[in-house]
Structure 1
Amino acid sequence: MARFAGAAVAGLCAMALGAALVFRGADLGALAALAVGGGLLLAAGGGLAVAALALVAALLARSAGSARLDRLGGLARFMPIAAMAAALPAVMTLAMLPLFPGFAGSWALMQALVSGWRLGGAALPLFCAGGLVLAGAASAVLAAAMLRFFAAAFLGRPRTPRAAGARDAAGLSCWALLLPVAPLVLLGLAPGLALAWGRAALAVVAGRAPVPTRGAGLALAEGGAAYAPLLLAALLALFGLAVAALVLRLAPPGGAGRGPAWEGGFLAPPPHLPFGEPLTQPSAAGLAEPLLGLLGGPAAARRASSSLVRRLRATVTGAPLPSRTTAGAALGGALFLLAAALAALAVAGGG
C-alpha cells in the first residue's frame, strides 16, 4: 500500500515540476513558484507519510502476525498509538485532506493548473486542463484507497485470533512511529513557513518569482485564492467543541454505550463466531479488483469481474452485455470525441 501511494505522490510531484517549467518558459514566474511549491510540499509530506506507513506495516507484521489487510481488523482498539497517532495522520496526508501537507501541495498544484488559460494558444491550456483532471482523479483514488486501508486494518472486527491479541508499540518503537509524524503535522499547519525556508529550492526552478505564501499559509501572488490552515484548524476546533457540547447535553443520564468504531452495517457477531462472519466485512481487494479487471490486470481479477457481470446479468435483466473489448472501444471513442471537442473549443477561444 505504501509503495503504490508513494508512486502516486511521485507522479503528482512530476506533474508539478513539469507545470512549473512550462510556466517558467512562458514568463509566468508566480505560477511557476506556486506549482513547484506544491511539488515540494507533496514530496515532503508524501515522503514522511510513506515512511510512517512503512513503520506501521512493520509493527503490524510483528505484533498482529501479518501485514495483509485480510488478516487484520479492529486494531484501533488494541493498538491506539499505531492507529491514531501514526497511521491516521499518514493516511490523511496521502488522502489529501485539509490541515495536512498533502492537501496544501495538491491545492497549490491545482491552483496553478487552473490558471493555465493564461499560457495562451490552444495546446498548452488544453494540456493544463487535462493535467487538472488527472490530478483530481489521482487524488480521488488515493483518498478511496487510504479510506479502505484504514477501515480494513484498524476498524471493524478482528479477522483472526492473532489480530485480536495484538499489542501496541512501546518504548523506542513508539518514538520511532512518532518521529515522522511530528514534522508531518507541523508541515501541514504551516506550509507557508516551510516554503519560505525553502526559498532557495524554489528559486532553482521558478527564478526570482515571489514565494506564494501569506503568513503560515499559501496564497496566489496576485492576491487571489488563499489557503490558511491555522484559521481552518481554529474553525474546525470550535465546530468540534460545539458538537461535543451538544452530544453531552443530549446524552441520556446513564451515558452512552460503547462499541466497535465501525461494524460495516452489520449486527454484533453471534456467540459461535466471536470474530463474525468474514464475508460480512469488506475485503482488501474491494477497490483493486474492478480496476484491475477494467485495465486488463491479472487473470484472477478478470475471471472475478466476468463472473460478477454474469451474475448481475442473470439477476437483473438477462440481456446480453457488451464484451470488455467492445466496452473499452466505446469508452475510448467517447474520450476521443471529448478531447476533440475540447480542442475545438480551445482553438476557437484562441482565435
Structure 2
Amino acid sequence: MSGPTITPVTGAKAVRYDEFGGIEVLRVDEVDRPVPAGGQVLVRVKAAGINPGEAAIRTGAMAAIFPSTFPSGQGSDLAGVVAEVGAGADRFSVGDEVIGFSEKRASQAELVLVDVDNLTPKPDGVPWEVAGGLYVAGVTAWRAVDSMRLDSGETVVVSAAAGGVGSLAVQLARRTGATVIGLASQHNHEWLRRHGVIPVAYGDGVEDRIRAAAPGGVDAFIDTHGGGYVELALALGVAVGRIDTIADFAAAAKYGVRTEPGPNPRPGAEVLAELAALIADGHLEVPIANAYPLTQVRQAYAELERRHTHGKIVLRP
C-alpha cells in the first residue's frame, strides 16, 4: 500500500503594500513560493522583528535614501528553519535553525530568500522571538557602542534606554566597564537597575538630573530616539566625536556628530553570531514587548509607532 500523498507548498503568505502610507496600506498576500538562486537559502520564518525604520520607509519619509518599487515587501530581521538550499550555499542544510537578515525588505513572510552570508546558526538557548528580532536592533546597538570606544571609568548616556535598540546598547556599554546612565520612563527604571544601569527619567529637567547622576561629567552619548538629544549631549559638554545618533540625522548633519556604524563595521552576520552567543550564555537579555501573528502586522506597527515599548516587537508567521 502506498504512503500518504505529500502536497508541496506552492505559495506562502507575505506582508505587502502598493503605495506609501500609514499602517492601513499593509496587507498579507499569498505569493509564489520563492526559489533559491546560487548562494541563497530559503528560510521558513519562525519570527521576524519589526523596526521604526521600516515604518519610515513605508510612509515614504526615507524615499530619497531607500527608494521603493511596488508592490513592496517589508522587514529585515528573521529567524527560522532552512527549507531549501541553492547552489553554493551548502554551508547550511535543510532543517538547520538560523538567524539572519534580508536585504530585500522581505523578512515579514512565511518563506524568505536569504543570501548565505547573511545567516548564522541559531544557538539552542536563544528563543525564536529573540532570534527573529535580533538583527536590526542588535547590530545597531553593537555598532553604536563600538563607535564610542568606551573605556572603563567613562560615563555614557543612552536615550530611550528601554527600547529595542537602547535596551541592548545599555547592556553592551556596561560590558565595556563604563558607567551607563539610561534615560527611560519610571516604570522601566527597575529593569535598568537590574542590569547595572543608572536610570534617569526623561522630560523636563533631564539635563539637571543627568548632571546629578554624573557629577564627574559625561564622556559619551548614544541617542536611540531623536528629538533634541543631540543638542542635550552638546549642552552636557560631550565632544562631537563622542555623540552617536541612530535617529536624528538632521542634527547629525548640522553638528557633525556620528551616525553609527564606525569607519570599519564588522559584517552583520558576524555581529549576530557574537550577540547570539552572549544571549545563549545568559550575558545579554533581549526584552520582547509583544509577539503578533503575521496577519496582525497593522496592530504590531500601531504599537511600535506609539514609541513606548520595552524591548522588541516581533511577528510570528
**TM, length-normalised to structure 2:** 0.21
Name the structure where strand makes up a greater proportion of residues. 2
Higher RCO structure, 1 or 2 (CA under 8 Å, sep 6+):
1
TM-score (norm 1): 0.20
Bigger helix fraction: 1
Larger radius of gyration, structure 1 or 2?
A: 1
